[in-house]
Amino acid sequence: EEIGQRASTGALPGWDQVDVLVDDAYRFALRGTGGAVADYIPALAQADPDLFGVAVAQVDGGLHAVGDVDVAFSIQSISKAFVYALVCQNFGHEQVMARIGVNNTGLAFDSVIAIELNDGHPMNPMVNAGAIAATALMPGSTPGERWEAIQTGLSAFAGRALALDDEVYRSETATNQRNRAIARLLESYRRIDTDPLDAVDVYTRQCSLLVTAKDLAVMAATLADGGVNPVTGRRVVSATVCRDTLAVLATSGLYERSGEWLFDIGLPGKSGVAGGIMAVSPGKAGIGTYAPRLDPAGNSVRGQLATAHLSRALGLNIF
């Protein structure tokens, strides 16, 4: 059934009420039985398609969680949002806009033709081209230092030390010819300063970091909280960087489906092919979901349904 938007502004409902609504969203989204687990990265094909968890982290530090919220899975493309934030923190608004861009490609996340159509410009940091270019801009004089800065930075967003899934990393490394081609193409247009294959390797590692739906909720809540992790109380990035990151998530977080997502759900969000989605409700909360079955654009079917339900029930749509 269609639920009406509760209110577009104002505070979240009371604690018990949010608990009930998170539960409702979980049950509502169980009706999403379509979609398929990603298999272009062989290790991802082994995921249990029926796993499903929904978590909401409030900016006051409170957490609501239902289902498989402690199951770890690889963060995949959701890492792009946080690496971008870390790069913005180091490079600043103008530089990052010029070098990586903020506009949707209208094409798939691994599109090569999008690069060709735009004079080699990666267009935005959420597609693979822009994400690899962003990873190459991370501070550090070696790939090892850049990887360490990413692992430490994403762990600060989560409020705990995030570990690498070695099997996913090796599986993707063996099958990421397309990303290597994208990086070489960027190199040919002089859009990447470091060794392109080193950048792809660090990017592949960042995509293989293990998170849970709870982690995604806290990471999203850090962006909702102007850059302060609401659980640890630690500032990770500035409020300005959060604003820049959320703007890009709004235009490109769900790839070529970003318009539909914004139209239906009205929140900046980011998906990953392992089945995670995070959504950010500025000043209020972060939402993290995990459900491995994906639609054709690579976005979790149940994650989208649960987030849509929560956006309406909690009055989160920013418009």
Active site (catalytic) residues: 77, 80, 203, 255, 273
Helix (H) or strand (E) holding 64: strand 63-67
202 sits near ligand DON (criterion: CB under 6 A): no
Instruction: For the segment 47-106, give every residue that binds ligand DON (CB under 6 A).
Output: 76-77
Sign of torsion over alpha carbons 233, 248, 211, 135:
negative
251 sits near ligand DON (criterion: CB under 6 A): no
Q: In terms of Cα–Cα distance, which of 252, 285, 247 is closest to 271?
A: 252
Q: Is 40 annotated as contributing to ligand binding?
A: no
Q: Please report where in the chains the tokens 């995921």 appear, as a residue.
A: 47
Q: In angstroms, what is the minimal distance from the CB of 221 to ligand DON? A: 21
Q: Tell me which of 298, 304, 308, 318 binds ligand DON, using CB under 6 A.
A: 298
203: helix, strand or coil: helix
- Distance CA(275)–CA(254), nearest Å, equals 12
Q: 303 or 315: whose CB is closer to ligand DON?
A: 303
Q: Is 255 annotated as contributing to ligand binding?
A: yes
SS (H, E, C) 224-237: HCCCECCCCCCECC
Q: In terms of Cα–Cα distance, which of 72, 133, 65, 108 is closest to 292?
A: 72
191: helix, strand or coil: coil
199 sits near ligand DON (criterion: CB under 6 A): no
Q: In angstroms, what is the minimal distance from the CB of 60 to ligand DON? A: 30
Q: Is 26 annotated as contributing to ligand binding?
A: no
- Distance CA(195)–CA(197), nearest Å, equals 6
109 sits near ligand DON (criterion: CB under 6 A): yes
Q: In angstroms, what is the minimal distance from the CB of 316 to ligand DON? A: 22
Q: Tell me which of 271, 289, 307, 317 binds ligand DON, using CB under 6 A.
A: 271
Q: In angstroms, what is the minimal distance from the CB of 171 to ligand DON? A: 10
Cα dist. 24→3, 30, 35, 64, 303 in Å? 11, 10, 21, 12, 13
272 sits near ligand DON (criterion: CB under 6 A): yes
Site string for ligand DON, 162-191 (x = CB under 6 A): ----------x------x------------
Residues engaged in binding ligand DON (CB under 6 A): 76-77, 109-110, 128, 172, 179, 207, 271-273, 298
